[in-house]
Amino acid sequence: MSKEFKKTSAKSVVKEDVSRRKFLRSTAVAGAAAAGVVAAPHIAKAATVLKVQAAWGGGIFLENAQSYVDRVHAMAGNSLKIDLLSVNSVVKTSQMQDAVHRGVLDGAHYVTAYWYSKSKAASLFGTGPCFGWSAQELLGWIHYGGGLELFNELMASLGLNIVSFFNSPMPAQPLGWFKEEIKDVSQMKGLKYRTVGLAADVLSEMGMSVVQLPGGEIQPAMKSGLIDAAEFNNPTSDKDFGMQDVSKHYHLASYHQSQECFEITFNKKKYESLAPELQNILRYASEAENSNFYWNNTLRYADDLVSLKKDYGVNVHRTPDSVMAEQLKAWDIVVDRIAKEDAFFAKVVASQKEYAEKVMNYLLLNSPNYAQAYKHYFG
């Protein structure tokens, strides 16, 4: 082997060795860096927690509020949590909207009739006059007929820092519980009766002495004689309250609250601080709960109505058409009176009438006589 070849080989070996050492060092550094990434603990971002108080201390309405919360959690995963609080946990029901406005609460689950003392127009978004429509169409008006825009206009005029979603189409509320069967409207005059919202004005117009009480106080008030008659909302809640223990005459069907829905309200500043996808989850969970409420609650109401009759001996009556006709006349008087005093109230009523006239014209013309079919099969 020549000397030149040996020198060349030696140089190659040295270069190769240096290159190998550089490669090993760089690989070790990269490996250590990778190991550091793997070894570093994963720190999860804390979920945003919203404190939301419901107007319900228990029963099916608190279950409905929880059902909405469950849908939010299912969609939001660990990004958003709602801490659902029962009635009076932080503030009284009458103070809930103000508490959300001020940020004492992040949200509330209730009905608009619970704060209608601030504006009688509030009741139109839940316990207003019947224009031949049900709560399904009321919600249609809110979401697609300009109702939500009018609601937001009302919020702005009242200076309230809130954003609300509406859901859960409630069946018409029963006229309620009486000491005797009501066969004529004259029997109602002078009776001390519990209701809320604009229904209080309507039944006062019919000669009743109206008392507005929270749900949990209705049964004790009737038991003690503070009131003579009462309504709350549905057979399930009424049964849970124990109304069957203070009365055996239960009247279904009425125009005093023929359509109502839940309002889920949030502090607007808090809501707008959330990521857009979380805002949408709060919104669309409300729409999802809308269907669940109707499917779930109507069956529960039907089951409990059967139980009230079979297990507790309650006499269930349909309110006479003559009484409901008088309710419609009373509604006309009340609505006309308030509309003359309140231009915004009149504006909302006009919007509702326009929607109801068009939509109900189609629905009533198109709907078969379901009562005929029911009688055909069940007598």
Handedness of CA 211, 200, 322, 233 (dihedral sign): negative
pLDDT > 90? residue 118: yes
3-state secondary structure 332-344: HHHHHHHHHHCHH
- Residues 68-113 have pLDDT tens digits of 999 999 999 999 999 999 999 999 999 999 999 999 999 999 999 8
Q: How many CA atoms lie within 13 A of 17 on its CB side?
A: 6
Q: Over the stretch 29-66, which tens digit does the pLDDT of each residue have? A: 344 443 444 444 444 566 899 999 999 999 999 999 99
Q: What is the pLDDT of residues 298-352, one digit of tens each?
A: 999 999 999 999 999 999 999 999 999 999 999 999 999 999 999 999 999 999 9
3-class secondary-structure state, position 222: helix
Q: Note whether residue 109 is domain-resident.
A: yes
- Calculate mean pLDDT across residues 136-145: 98
**At residue 246, does pLDDT exceed 90?**
yes
Mean pLDDT within 129-135: 96
* pLDDT at residue 45, as a whole number: 62
What per-residue confidence (pLDDT) applies to 215? 81
CA angle 195, 201, 207 (to 5 degrees): 90
Residues 6+ apart with CB under 8 A from 46: none
Domain residue limits at 342: 48-174+255-378
Residue 280 lies in a domain: yes
Mean pLDDT of the chain: 90
Cut 0.75: pTM above it: yes
* Predicted local distance difference test score (pLDDT) of residue 214: 80
User: What pairs with residue 81 in β-bridges?
Assistant: 49
Is 124 a domain residue?
yes
69: CATH:
3.40.190.170
Smallest Cα–Cα separation from 202: which of 17, 327, 356? 327
Q: Is residue 179 part of a domain?
A: no
pLDDT band at 241 (very low <50, low <70, confident <90, very high): very high
Domain membership flag for residue 285? yes
- Which tokens sit at 230? 């009462």
Model confidence pLDDT, tens digit, residues 350-360: 999 999 999 99
Please name the helix (run of DSSP H) or strand (run of DSSP E) that holds residue 82, with its range, or none: strand 80-85
3-state secondary structure of 117: coil
Sorting pLDDT into bands at 50, 70 and 90, what band is 197? Answer: confident
Whether 283 is covered by a domain: the verdict is yes
First to last CA, the chain: 117
pLDDT for 95: 96
Point out which residues pair with 264 in neighbouring strands. Answer: 109, 165
Which residue, among 39, 368, 221, 287, has the nearest Cα to 209 in the 3D structure?
221
pLDDT level of residue 21 (50, 70, 90 thresholds): very low
Is 353 a domain residue? Answer: yes
Tokens of 359: 């939509």
How would residue 120 be classed by pLDDT, with cut points 50, 70 and 90?
very high
**Residue given tokens 């009556």 in the structure block:** 317
Would you say 347 and 120 are in contact if contact means Cβ atoms under 8 Å apart?
no
Q: Which helix (H) or strand (E) holds 264?
A: strand 260-267
Please say if the pLDDT value at position 8 is more than 80.
no
pLDDT at 27: 41
Virtual torsion, Cα 224, 229, 234, 240, nearest 10 deg: 10
Q: Which of 367, 171, 136 is nearest to 253 (CA)?
A: 171
- Alpha-helical regions (H) of 145-209: 147-158, 198-205
- Please indicate, yes or no, if residue 267 is contained in any of the structural domains: yes
CB atoms within 10 A of CB 279: 16
Q: Please give the tally of structural domains in the chain.
A: 1
117 φ/ψ angles, rounded to the nearest 5 degrees: -65, -20
pLDDT above 50 (res 5):
no
In one letter, which amino acid is 107? G
Using pLDDT thresholds of 50, 70 and 90, give the confidence band for residue 213.
confident
